[in-house]
């Protein structure tokens, strides 16, 4: 026994001596000490189609642990805007994470006319890769059309690929573009009759076991239940009447009113896809995100990991029911509960104060124009057929052919350069002539030519937003701007895409490790987010960043 104590004493003496000598000889702190104060996990949240005023309009219905926790413990940038058009999902997600605009990252819309192949391309579409986890083509996706890095890519390069990146969203583009080119994985939801989280061979050849297990767990099925308001509908005084003429609703149900029997309605609404247009699509996204954190050990070592989570259901609900609907209000009340559940889980697994979250949106939305009309606010619907008819007459009378225009999409006119040459015309003059014609049309407020976009330098107003959204290689020859609150859309539900406040003003909240408590009305723009996170981590800014780090939010 005595010998044993002596041995312990010797060992203790030796180790303490050894550690002393190491400490006295070591000037540089160890790796652990360097990274100790850095966040172990960055969670980048995008809430699809979330207007800034949803934070304030629904605030009294929010609990303490979701949106309000971010506002009360973190930093609230109250005057945060998109600084480009079009305000759509693909460009939005690319801009949040790359710190720049379509002018540089090249994601000029969700779908656009490709001038080289003369085809419509999808922002995340990639037929050189295959689906993983489905027999369908829904997995043939990658970020290859995004020309720049995201802060997730820069974190991967900085950590010698040791810090992981995983992207998650119901929408493929909401998962793929944020996570960037070097992501370990991106997962999105394939509805129809499968109801499964899938990926592509861009990331992996087979789904990990935990994803397969999740997909057979019947979690998605469990949400095919009755959707009723979380609280008594009579208390939802912050939204319009449940029954009105401004909402779409689901196939197979006459009126867009609560309750919705989702199991029954799923039969007429593309099976599991119905979940995307209910708050339960967001709940499922949180369930899957928590599983990813557990199974992939995110936030468990000294190399900062990044999880990007995009909540898409808010967008589908907004498109279907509109900004002022009870359905939108209930969706945000329930998202608040899901965020609380998610943050509590992060406290338990990564540790309170060890992770950093930011929350923003990819665009806002306009109130349903037919509703705005009913309260005398100028608004309405663009008559695209009439415009097309008049424009074709013009082209034939001036050029003798309609072939001089090869595509009109995303409020841009693409001119056929070969035809211009063949007819011995000058491209600038054709652009000018088309612009002078289009400005005469009903509900067109402004028209600009590519020549103007390439030569002028706009620093403010709608013109500056057009220029930030204008990519010389990919964008069209003539750019059209519709009247305020006029949309190309059906007469029910909301949409987005413009340079106006209802589409550009979105929340920006930060909280957790390294974030001060506070709020500001100073204007911030979407491309400021990525350099702010880069600054927090001490890593390179995304390679084409045009935003500025928001130093005032960093502790
Ligand atoms: Zn949308």
Distance 488 CA to ligand 1 centre (A): 13
Average of pLDDT values for 350-366? Answer: 98
Tell me the pLDDT band of 7, cut-offs 50, 70 and 90. Answer: very low
Distance 49 CA to ligand 1 centre (A): 6
d(CA 222, CA 487): 37
**No. of helices (H) and no. of strands (E), the chain:** 22, 22
pLDDT at residue 12 greater than cutoff 90 = no
Tokens matching residue 403: 């072939």
Tokens matching residue 536: 């927090």
pLDDT at residue 15 greater than cutoff 50 = no
Q: Who's near 102: CB < 8 A, 6+ residues apart? A: 84, 86, 91, 94, 95, 108, 109, 468, 469, 470, 471, 475
At 440 the three-state DSSP class reads coil
The pLDDT score that the predictor gives to residue 26 is: 43
CA distances (Å), origin 254, targets 135, 157, 175, 439: 34, 54, 34, 41
d(CA 530, CA 545): 8
- Do the Cβ atoms of 141 and 200 come closer than 8 Å? yes
Average of pLDDT values for 238-252? Answer: 97
Average of pLDDT values for 441-458? Answer: 96
The pLDDT score that the predictor gives to residue 337 is: 98
- Do the Cβ atoms of 84 and 475 come closer than 8 Å? no
Single pTM value for the model: 0.93
The residue among 237 and 6 whose pLDDT is bigger is 237
Distance 319 CA to ligand 1 centre (A): 6
Distance 471 CA to ligand 1 centre (A): 22
Average of pLDDT values for 313-342? Answer: 98
The pLDDT score that the predictor gives to residue 85 is: 97
pLDDT at residue 22 greater than cutoff 90 = no
Place of tokens 């999105």: 188
Give me the sign of the Cα torsion angle 159, 162, 168, 174: positive
Average of pLDDT values for 15-32? Answer: 41
The residue among 177 and 37 whose pLDDT is bigger is 177
Peptide bond into 482 cis (omega under 30): no
Average of pLDDT values for 382-410? Answer: 97
Tens-digit pLDDT profile for residues 170-229: 999 999 999 999 999 999 999 999 999 999 999 999 999 999 999 999 999 999 999 999
Instruction: Burial-class residue 371 by CB neighbours within 10 Å (0-12, 13-18, 19+).
Output: buried
Residues involved in catalysis: 89
CA distances (Å), origin 356, targets 306, 308, 322, 360, 465: 10, 12, 32, 14, 30
Instruction: Burial-class residue 26 by CB neighbours within 10 Å (0-12, 13-18, 19+).
Output: exposed
pLDDT at residue 267 greater than cutoff 70 = yes
- Do the Cβ atoms of 372 and 485 come closer than 8 Å? yes
Place of tokens 């424009």: 391
The pLDDT score that the predictor gives to residue 36 is: 57
- Do the Cβ atoms of 40 and 347 come closer than 8 Å? no
pLDDT at residue 11 greater than cutoff 90 = no
pLDDT at residue 25 greater than cutoff 90 = no
Distance 312 CA to ligand 1 centre (A): 9
Distance 550 CA to ligand 1 centre (A): 28
Distance 274 CA to ligand 1 centre (A): 16
Distance 197 CA to ligand 1 centre (A): 21
Distance 316 CA to ligand 1 centre (A): 7
- Do the Cβ atoms of 163 and 303 come closer than 8 Å? yes
The residue among 4 and 504 whose pLDDT is bigger is 504
pLDDT at residue 10 greater than cutoff 90 = no
At 527 the three-state DSSP class reads helix
- Do the Cβ atoms of 164 and 298 come closer than 8 Å? yes
In the chain, what are the helix, strand and coil shares in percent, each to the nearest 5?
Answer: 40, 15, 40
Peptide bond into 259 cis (omega under 30): yes
CA distances (Å), origin 223, targets 145, 261, 263: 34, 11, 9
The pLDDT score that the predictor gives to residue 160 is: 98
- Do the Cβ atoms of 202 and 185 come closer than 8 Å? no
Average of pLDDT values for 507-512? Answer: 98
pLDDT at residue 432 greater than cutoff 90 = yes
Q: Which has the closest alpha carbon to 273: 205, 224, 330, 214?
A: 224
Tens-digit pLDDT profile for residues 45-89: 999 999 999 999 999 999 999 999 999 999 999 999 999 999 999
Q: Which has the closest alpha carbon to 83: 460, 408, 365?
A: 460
pLDDT at residue 33 greater than cutoff 80 = no
At 361 the three-state DSSP class reads coil
Place of tokens 């997909």: 215
- Do the Cβ atoms of 41 and 304 come closer than 8 Å? yes
Q: Who's near 295: CB < 8 A, 6+ residues apart? A: 208, 210
d(CA 422, CA 442): 32
Report phi then psi at 509, rounded to 5. Answer: -125, 140
What is the chain's mean pLDDT, rounded? 94
Distance 180 CA to ligand 1 centre (A): 21
Tell me the pLDDT band of 37, cut-offs 50, 70 and 90. Answer: confident
Beta bridge partners of 412: 409, 479
Distance 364 CA to ligand 1 centre (A): 9
Q: Which has the closest alpha carbon to 489: 389, 313, 366?
A: 366
pLDDT at residue 117 greater than cutoff 50 = yes
Instruction: Burial-class residue 543 by CB neighbours within 10 Å (0-12, 13-18, 19+).
Output: middle
The pLDDT score that the predictor gives to residue 287 is: 98
Q: Which has the closest alpha carbon to 170: 118, 220, 97?
A: 220
- Cite the beta strand spans of 348-441 per DSSP E: 355-360, 380-381, 405-409, 412-415
């Amino acid at each position: 026994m005595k010998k044993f104590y002596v041995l312990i004493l010797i060992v203790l003496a030796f180790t303490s001596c050894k550690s002393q000598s190491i400490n006295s000889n070591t000037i540089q702190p160890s790796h652990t000490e360097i990274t100790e104060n850095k966040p172990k996990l960055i969670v980048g949240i995008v809430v699809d189609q979330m207007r800034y005023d949803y934070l304030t309009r629904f605030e009294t219905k929010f609990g303490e642990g979701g949106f309000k926790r971010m506002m009360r413990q973190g930093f609230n940038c109250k005057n945060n805007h998109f600084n480009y058009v079009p305000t759509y999902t693909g460009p939005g997600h690319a801009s949040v994470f790359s710190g720049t605009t379509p002018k540089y990252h090249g994601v000029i819309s969700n779908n656009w006319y490709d001038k080289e192949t003369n085809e419509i391309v999808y922002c995340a579409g990639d037929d050189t890769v295959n689906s993983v986890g489905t027999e369908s083509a829904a997995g043939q996706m990658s970020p290859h059309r995004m020309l720049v890095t995201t802060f997730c890519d820069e974190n991967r390069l900085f950590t010698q690929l040791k810090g992981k990146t995983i992207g998650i969203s119901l929408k493929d583009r909401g998962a793929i573009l944020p996570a960037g080119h070097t992501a370990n994985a991106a997962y999105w939801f394939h509805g129809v009759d499968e109801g499964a989280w899938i990926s592509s061979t861009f990331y992996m050849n087979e789904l990990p076991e935990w994803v397969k297990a999740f997909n057979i767990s019947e979690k998605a099925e469990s949400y095919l239940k009755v959707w009723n308001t979380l609280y008594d509908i009579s208390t939802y005084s912050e939204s319009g009447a449940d029954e009105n003429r401004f909402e779409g609703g689901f196939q197979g149900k006459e009126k867009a009113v609560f309750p919705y029997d989702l199991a029954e309605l799923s039969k007429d609404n593309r099976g599991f896809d119905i979940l995307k247009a209910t708050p339960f699509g967001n709940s499922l996204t949180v369930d899957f995100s928590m599983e990813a954190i557990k199974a992939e050990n995110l936030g468990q070592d000294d190399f900062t990991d990044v999880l990007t989570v995009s909540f898409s259901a808010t967008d589908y609900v907004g498109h279907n029911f509109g900004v002022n609907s009870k359905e939108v209000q209930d969706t945000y009340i329930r998202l608040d509960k899901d965020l609380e559940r998610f943050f509590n889980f992060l406290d338990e697994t990564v540790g309170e104060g060890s992770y950093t979250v930011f929350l923003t949106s990819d665009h806002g939305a306009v109130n349903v124009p037919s509703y705005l009309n009913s309260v005398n606010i100028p608004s309405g619907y663009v008559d695209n057929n009439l415009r097309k008819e008049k424009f074709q007459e013009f082209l034939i009378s001036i050029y003798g052919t309609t072939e001089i225009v090869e595509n009109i999409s995303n409020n841009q006119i693409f001119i056929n350069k070969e035809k211009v040459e063949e007819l011995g015309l000058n491209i600038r003059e054709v652009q000018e002539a088309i612009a002078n014609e289009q400005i005469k049309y009903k509900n067109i407020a402004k028209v600009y030519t590519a020549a103007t976009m390439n030569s002028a330098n706009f620093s403010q107003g709608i013109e500056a937003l057009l220029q930030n959204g204008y990519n010389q290689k990919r964008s069209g020859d003539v750019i059209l701007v519709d009247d305020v609150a006029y949309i190309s859309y059906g007469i029910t539900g909301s949409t987005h895409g413009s340079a106006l406040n209802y589409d550009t003003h979105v929340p920006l909240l930060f909280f957790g490790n390294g974030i001060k408590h506070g709020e500001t009305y100073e204007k911030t723009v979407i491309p400021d987010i990525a350099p702010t996170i880069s600054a927090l981590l001490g890593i390179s800014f995304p390679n084409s960043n045009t935003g500025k780090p928001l130093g005032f939010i960093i502790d």
